[in-house]
Amino acid sequence: MASAIRVSSLGRSLPVPVVQEMARGLCVVPPRYQRKDDQDPPIDFHGDSFPSIPVIDMQGLLLSGGDSSSSTTTEYDIELNKLDSACKNWGFFQLVNHGVSLERVKGEVEKFFKLPIEEREKVKQPSGDLQGYGQALVITHEQKLDWSDMVFLVTHPEQERNQNILQKLPISLREALEEYTSEVDELGVTLLEKLATALGMEVRVMRDFFGHVHRGMRLNYYPSCPQPELAVGGSAHSDGVGLTVLIQVNETDGLQVKHGGNWVPVKPLPDAFIVNIGDMLEMFTNGVYHSCEHRVRATSEGERISVARFFSPPREREIVPPSSLVGPKNPPLKYKKIEVEAFLTGFFASPVKGRSYIESMKI
C-alpha cells in the first residue's frame, strides 16, 4: 500500500467546517470567524505614491547573469539587479513573460470548487494529516478561524505523497496539476539559480541546499463574505518554506503584503506569477532576503481562488547560510541552526501569527 511508506506527517490541524458550505445564505459572520482585532489600519497611501510590488521579466532574467566571470554589466543584468532588490526590500514580486501556460490549471481548480460538497469531501484531510481538503494550523478549539478552505498536497518527494488523496482527486484536475507542476517546477528551480547569482553565490551552493527540492501546493478558496470588515480571508503570516510561486485563479483580488509598516494590496498582472521569499530562504541568506508577512482580506465581491506552489529543502537539511554570507566580512550568523524537519514541526505546532515564528529563530 503506497500510503504505508509515507514518512510521518509534520503535524495536524483540527477539523473545521467547510467555510464554502457554511457561508451559503449566511448574512452574519459566526463568532469564531469574527476578527476585529486582526483588522490593521488600511494602507496609508497618497495619490501617485501608491506602492506596488516590483515586476520582474523572466525573459530578461534568463539572459542575465550568464557570465559571472565578466565584470561588465549588460542591459539584461538590470533584471537581475531588480530581482535582488525586490527580494531584499519586499520579499515579493510579480513575474511576467514566464511562458508557463495557466489556462488549464486555473479552469480545473475552479471546476473543483464548483463540485458538490460530497465530491469535494472525497479528498477531505484525514485526522492527523495536513494533506487534503480542510485547513492548516488550527491547533486549539478556541482559536479564531480564517474565512477560507484549502486543499494541501505534497508531491515531492514521492514517499511524502498521500496517494489516497491524489487518486481521489477528479482525474482532469490531477492531470492538469501534473502538467502545471512539471512546468512551474522547472521555473522554480531556474528562479532559485537566479537568486543564487543575484546573491553572488555559486549556483551549486543553492542547488546543494535545495537538493531534489521538496514540493507542495495549496489550492486556496476564499468564499464571498457577508461582513468582510469582520472576517479575515487568510491570517497574516510568512511562508514556512523556501520559495512560493502563486497564481491568482480568478479576478477577485485580496492578497496584501506588509511593506514599510503598511498593508499593500497586490493586483496581479494578466497571467503573472506572484513570487515570494519564504522563511527558510531568509535564514539561508542570513537575512539578506526577506520573508515578507502577507494576508488575504475577506471580501463580499465574490469568491477568490489561488494556487500556491511551495519549494523547500529536504527535511534532513540543516538551515545554515553559506560562508559567503556570514562573517568575517559579512554580518555574523543571525538565525539558529536548525534542521528543516525540526523547523517545520515547530511551524505547524502553533497558530500562525505574522512573522513570529521566523522571529523566534533569530539569535
Residues in contact with ligand AKG by the rule CB under 6 A: 218, 220, 234, 239, 246, 255, 294, 296, 306, 308
CB atoms within 10 A of CB 185: 17
CB-nearer residue toward Fe ion: 239 or 303: 239
CB-nearer residue toward ligand AKG: 80 or 222: 222
For the bound state, the minimum distance from the C-beta of residue 11 to Fe ion, rounded and expressed in Å, comes to 17
Q: Left if phi > 0, otherwise alpha if psi is -120 to 50, otherwise beta: which for 213?
A: left
Q: Is the peptide bond before 42 cis (omega within 30 degrees of 0)?
A: no
Please state, in angstroms and rounded to a whole number, the distance separating the CA atoms of residues 203 and 57: 20
Q: 255 contacts which partner out of Fe ion, ligand AKG, none, CB within 5 to 8 A by kind? A: ligand AKG
Give the residue among 32, 273, 272, 308 at the shortest CA–CA distance from 150. 308
For the bound state, the minimum distance from the C-beta of residue 294 to Fe ion, rounded and expressed in Å, comes to 6
Tabulate helix, strand, coil % of the chain (nearest 5): 35, 20, 45
Closest residue to ligand AKG, judged by C-beta, is 306
For the bound state, the minimum distance from the C-beta of residue 66 to ligand AKG, rounded and expressed in Å, comes to 32
CB-nearer residue toward ligand AKG: 198 or 305: 305
303 is a site residue for Fe ion (CB under 5 A): no
Interface with Fe ion in residues 220-259 (CB under 5 A)? 239
Structure letter (DSSP) for residue 37: G
For the bound state, the minimum distance from the C-beta of residue 336 to ligand AKG, rounded and expressed in Å, comes to 23
> 202 is written with which cell numbers?
555559486
Q: 120 contacts which partner out of ligand AKG, Fe ion, none, CB within 5 to 8 A by kind? A: none
Please state, in angstroms and rounded to a whole number, the distance separating the CA atoms of residues 1 and 166: 14
Please state, in angstroms and rounded to a whole number, the distance separating the CA atoms of residues 267 and 293: 17
For the bound state, the minimum distance from the C-beta of residue 237 to Fe ion, rounded and expressed in Å, comes to 6
Structure letter (DSSP) for residue 109: H
CB-nearer residue toward ligand AKG: 286 or 291: 291
Residues in contact with Fe ion by the rule CB under 5 A? 239
